[in-house]
Structure formats: C-alpha cells, structure tokens
A and B are shown apart, each in its own frame.
Chain A
Amino acid sequence: MAKKVLVLGETREGALRNVSFEAIAAAKKISGGGEVVGVLIGDSVADFGNELIAYGADRVVTVEHPHLKSYTSDGYGQAFMAVVEQENPEGLVFGHTAVGKDLAPKIASKLQAGLISDVTDIEGEGDDAVFIRPIFSGKAFEKVKLKEGVDFITVRSNNIAPLERQERSGEVTSLSVDITNLRTIIKNVVRKSSEGVDLSEAKVIVAGGRGVKSSEGFEPLQELANLLGGAVGASRGACDADYCDYSLQIGQTGKVVTPDLYIAAGISGAIQHMAGMSNSKVIVAINKDPEANIFKVADYGIVGDLFEVIPMLTEEFKKVM
C-alpha cells in the first residue's frame, strides 16, 4: 500500500540540515510510491520549502509562529500535531537529532504509536519495510518493524544516503496554528560546539584521547579537522582529564558517530569508546603503543607519536587537496 509520509525538516544556522534530506530518502522507502510531505516549523521557514522538494519531498506544509522561533516540545508538539490532524499520515520520519529525539516520543505518545529510534538502514519498502538500528551503542544491531499504526522512525545522521538534488516543483502551503501555553521559556543558547561542523553529522572526525595530554594538545587535531571540513571528538579519558568539553565525548556514554573517516589519535580503544565509533566507514589509528586495542578496529594504523604524525598528515593533505 502506498503511504503518505511526513518528514520534519530541520534547519541549523540558516540552512536545512543534511539529516533532513536523509529523512526524505527514508520516507520515500516507507511510502512505497506514496506521497512524501515535508513539514517545516519555525518563525520564518517557508523559504526552505523548495529545497526539501528538490531533495524529494512532493510538497511541503509550513507552520510559522513567533513562539516557534526556538524549539520547545510544547510549541513544536502543537504545530506538528496540527499538521498530523490535517494530513492523516501513515508514516512519520524525523532526524535523530536534539529536536527529533525530544519531540518524536511526545508525538508517538499522543498517537499511541510505536516509534523506532535511531534507524541506520531500511530493508524493503512500503508495508514490508524493516528497520535496522544499533543497540548496546553499536555493539549489536536489531531489525525491528512496526506491528500496527503509523510507521514512525527517527534516522541517524550520515547513514541513509539522501536522494540526488533535482529541480522539481511542488506546493508549499502554510498552516495557521495557535501556539499557546508554552511551559518552557528559552533564555539563551551558549555555543560550545566547535566551529561550524556538527560532530554527529561530520563526514570526518579527528578524535583525541589521553595521549593528547592537554587542551593545547587538541590544537593540531583541530587544524587537521578544519582542513578536512570535519569535527574534533574525544575519548572519555580526555574529557575526564579536562582536556576538552564532555560535548566532544564519543563512546557508549557520549555520542555515537558514523563518519566516513575517523582518525583516532592517542586513543587506546577502551570497549566503551569503540562502541561509539566502530561503525565508522574508515578508521585510522595513530598511537605510540603498537598493542593498543584501537588497532584492532582500524583500517589503517600508524604506530607513532601523534604530535609528530598529525601535523605531518595536515601538511601532506594540504599538498594534495
């Protein structure tokens, strides 16, 4: 059966997030030839409608309201449920982002629906769609399906390939919703994450462990990450030692990432850290200790001092890029 699937589009720093395009590709599969409807919520978001359509949405519904400038579960919940009531969808796809993780369970609860979170792959299409998601932070995987009700999933960044961008046309309509009774007031957002590139969406991650030795020790890693358009991450050891903020932590506690390239510098490879990065497409390990566990999951390894190797790597990439 062809289904109508809603996709929540998300913006960050004035642009749609990649994960929203990936969510459209997931929605296409779930729809089994049905309709994919993008949903944009915010204080001024209608301009992004055509971009969602270019990436595969058939049409877009926007909900704009001054109270939707910042995300709150109450505000976005009211807006999204109004779209659900108008559209009666048979599928819903969000990104597994700060917003998606916070909002999806609320919507699922209101619909008394199942929700499959953090999906990394989809097998089959339409009614036969089966969803694959990591459990135990990627130490294992499970295949899950919805038994009844709407197909509701959140998709992890960087795993489901977006559709190719095409010039397409589709309708962008707005829905007027009265947003009331917000129980949360957002006061301020302090930027702590590294410049520009979001760790969970980064295609390249340069991560440091205890071997980085100090907060200054992260500078060469940052330089390499900047050159490669990537982000810097860290092991718990480095965070516990106060070399960097916990927001950079990758592992069983912390973030689980799946970049195209993961460069682990001075990371020994505790099982908890590996849980957070072992599904990266290509892993490079740089460590002084040839017996370090990290080499067991690495595609390529260099036994050496990261303070020697990383700057040389940066210079070498500069030559060829």
Chain B
Amino acid sequence: MNIYVLVKRTFDTEEKIVVSGGQIQEDGAEFIINPYDEYAIEEAITVRDAHGGEVTVVTIGSDEAEKQLRTALAMGADKAVLINTEDDIEEMDQFTSAYILAEYLKDKEADLILAGNVAIDGGSGQVGPRVADLLGINYVTTITSLNIEGDTVTIVRDIEGDAEELETSLPLLVTAQQGLNEPRYPSLPGIMKAKKKPLEELELDDLDIEEDDVEAKTETIEIYLPPKKAAGRILEGDISNQVSELVGLLRNEAKVI
C-alpha cells in the first residue's frame, strides 16, 4: 500500500507565545511534530505493518523542518520529503499549502493519505480536505478508528463527541483525531536508522509550480495577544459563606447566571 502522511512542524504545546513587531517570535522556542500529525504517522505505520507497502512523510517548510521529518522516520516511516518554500514564498495560507501538496501528490498514486485533523498553531483544519478535493479523492475527517479490508475501509469518526461509524473505499484521505492510537516514541535503533533513510528536498521549480499559482487568498493584518485579565478574587471565610458569596457574585456582578 502506498501511504503518505502530511505533517507540520509546530510550536511545542508548552511554549508561551511572544509577539513582537506583529509577529510570533520563534527564537529559542521548541518545535515538535503537530500532535495530531503524530497520530497520523502512527496509524500509517500500523497500516503498513498490517498490509505492506511504504510510508512517506511530507512537509512544507524550511530546512528546520528536517528535524521533525527525521523524528517521523525514527518512528518508522520509510521516506521523507521536504518541500522547501523558504526562498520562494513569503506569505502562505491554506490554499497555498494544499495546492503545493496536491501538485506533489497528483502523480504518486497514493492509496491512503493521512494528516492531523488540525494543526495546533493555525488551527484551521483546512489543508487535508482541500488536498483531497484537488486530488479528486474522498476524505473523512477527525477519525478515531481505521480498518482496511480489501477495498473496504471502515471508519469511526468523532463528530463533536459522538461516534459516527461509516464505510468507504480507497483511495482516501483521512485526518486523525485524538483517540485514534497511542503514538510510539522513536526507539534508539529507530533514531540510528532514521539517519540513513531517504529525505528528499524539493523546491517549487521541481514541482513546476509558479509563485503566482500559489499566492495566498487571505492576508494576516495583525497578530496580537489576548488582553491580560485582571487578577481574580480568591474568596475568603468558611466554605459555606464562600459558596453563597460566589453565587451572589455570579448572579449580580458577573451576571452570567
């Protein structure tokens, strides 16, 4: 089975966000594989181990994303592809990313493409479904279970907390939701092997993409931090008084009840 995983390098979830000059400051921040993409990588490896084939992880970014690709290879992916846009594109949006990924994937005859259902930085969740649409294949988002038997794919997906059971077929793009699996940590031998696995680097020219084709449709005007909240009130006195005071405050001061 020919399996591709779309991954994104994101800020570590522990990182505080610092904005200066209208930009998110990246200096000194730790970066990780987007946590939802880790579920996608784990699932891809599991599917390959059950059905045979090859797992290729693909990302768009700069040289710095090589670290996350090596981590995916250490987990067990077979090949990695970095589409390096650093010299070509200043502003990207979901349209841009999806276009580039679809151009890369269009002649790969992928049976299964996996991605995270959302990236924890931009948080739009658009790229997976957009790529599937551009490739003309079906997609299922926020999946929590995947079972492939012959041509039939049985999936459970999370729909706002409820579980929807459905049936579809390959080729298919799915996006991973928490609960799909427990992503493995790279083992030491895995890390050693990953250094020798193929990591291909491509630029837009290699994909015959003109910069004008991928010009972003949206424009970020400003990035800012939420206003700092004034310090809250810790209530005092015995618990029963605190509780009745709280109910009074919620009704009369905050007026939310």
Contact = CB atoms under 8 A, between A and B. Distances in A.
A68 interface: no
A238 interface: no
A109 B134 contact: yes
B212 to A, nearest CB: 12
Contacts of A200: 160
Interface string B199-233: 00000000000000000111111111110010111
Nearest to B239: A304
Contact of B221 (A112, A118, A143, A299): A143
B230 to A, nearest CB: 9
B35 A108 contact: no
Interface string B73-107: 00000000000000000000111001000000000
Interface in A61-101: 73-74, 97-98, 101
A175 B161 CA distance: 32
A106 B179 CA distance: 25
A44 interface: no
Q: Interface centre among B161, B216, B222, B235, by most A CB within 10 Å?
A: B161
Contact of A135 (B128, B223, B231, B242): B223
Nearest to B175: A102
Interface stretch (A25-33, A50-58, A160-168, A275-283): A275-283
Contacts of A146: 217-219
10 contacts: A102-B129, A105-B127, A109-B134, A118-B124, A142-B221, A203-B256, A204-B257, A295-B232, A316-B246, A320-B251
A135 B121 contact: yes
Main secondary structure of the interface of B (DSSP, over half): mixed
Interface residues of A, number: 95
Given A104-B126, A108-B126, A140-B24, A302 B216 contact: no
Interface residues of B, number: 76
B233 A317 contact: no
B247 A316 contact: yes
A253 interface: yes
Nearest to A191: B162
A139 interface: yes
B49 interface: no
Contacts of B232: 283, 285, 295-301
A190 B144 CA distance: 13
Contacts of B122: 135
Contacts of B222: 142-143
Contacts of A308: 239
Interface stretch (A1-9, A35-43, A210-218, A242-250): A242-250
A312 B249 contact: no
B158 A300 contact: no
Interface string B111-125: 000000000111111
Nearest to B117: A101
Q: Is the interface of A mostly helix, strand, loop or mixed?
A: mixed
A193 B162 contact: yes
A303 interface: yes
A313 B243 contact: yes
A279 B226 contact: yes
Interface stretch (B13-21, B54-62, B184-192): B13-21
Interface of A: 73-74, 97-98, 101-102, 104-106, 108-110, 112-118, 130, 133-149, 183-194, 198-200, 203-204, 228, 245-249, 252-254, 256, 260-261, 271-272, 275, 278-279, 281-285, 290, 295-304, 308-309, 312-313, 316-317, 320-321
Q: Which of B14, B240, B242 has the most CB of A within 10 A?
A: B242
Interface stretch (B1-9, B63-71, B165-173): B165-173
B11 interface: yes
B234 A312 contact: no
Nearest to A190: B163
Contacts of A295: 232, 234
B79 to A, nearest CB: 27
Given A186-B165, A253-B13, 8 more contacts: A106-B129, A109-B129, A114-B94, A136-B11, A247-B161, A272-B13, A299-B229, A300-B250
A140 B160 contact: no
Contacts of A138: 226
A190 B163 CA distance: 5
B138 interface: yes
Contacts of A199: 160-161
B127 to A, nearest CB: 8
Contacts of A98: 142, 158-160
Contact of B162 (A134, A189, A272, A302): A189
B220 A142 contact: yes
Contacts of B256: 203-204, 260-261, 281-282
B50 interface: no
Contact of A190 (B16, B162, B234): B162
Contacts of B30: none
B120 A117 contact: no
A143 B117 CA distance: 23
